[in-house]
Structure 1
Amino acid sequence: MNRIVLPAAAALLVVPALAACSSSASSVATVTVKAGVGTCDVSPTSVPKGQITISATYTGEGTGEVYLYAEENGAFTKILGEVEDLTTTTKTFTADVTTGTYEVKCEGGGQEKRVPLTVTG
């Protein structure tokens, strides 16, 4: 009889664990970036720490690029993610971020613009 009770007890422990995994997956923040020639619209500009998804679209002629930078040695030079050859099609990438300030850089038409992204605890 103990053999039947133990597997049943183990199953009761697994179900809440799986539910916890599914709820954390839905907590990924999405940041929408619309890049253009000399423009970089980022929404929202503040997200909670953890994994974020950058969803980027280029609105100018030709192609554009979007980067997410972290600070390294006093400057925003560490690339955490990027999409290149952007056109009107949306491309995404994900990055893990901790509390602090980051920069989203948009490039297009030979111009670039950077927008701060705040990550809260």
Structure 2
Amino acid sequence: MTIAVDFDGVIHAYTKGWQDGTIYDPPIPGAQDALNELMRRDAVFIHTSRDPQSVALWIVEKLGITATWEMEGARPHVFWNDRGRVLVTSRKLPATVYIDDRGLRFESWKQTMRDLDSQDPA
């Protein structure tokens, strides 16, 4: 099985929003143990809109987890199935489950539009 994990708001606390793309917060409590447990059981990749190399290096430094990233210009991964390290990518690869702080469960378009409207701060 492959597990996809969003970076901001799931691993990185992300208390100030995007800012200038800087990764400024510490990890969310429990992120290190959870990722290690997920990696023990399954392949894990992290998807982000940030620079994948910066995120991978942050993960190594802050969480002590072996990470690699998709380098610009390199052949992109079609899928990820390595349990020994996480992949950081700006793409959403095939996965059994996506762990994301901004997920919205789709049941129907009618329900989805209601859910979106109820989250609109305006």
Q: Which is richer in helix?
A: 2
Q: TM-score range by the shorter chain?
A: under 0.3
Q: Which is richer in strand?
A: 1
- TM value normalised by structure 1: 0.27
- TM value normalised by structure 2: 0.27
Question: Comparing both chains, which one has the higher relative contact order based on Cα–Cα distances under 8 Å and sequence gaps of 6 or more?
Answer: 2
The structure having more radius of gyration, on CA atoms, is 1
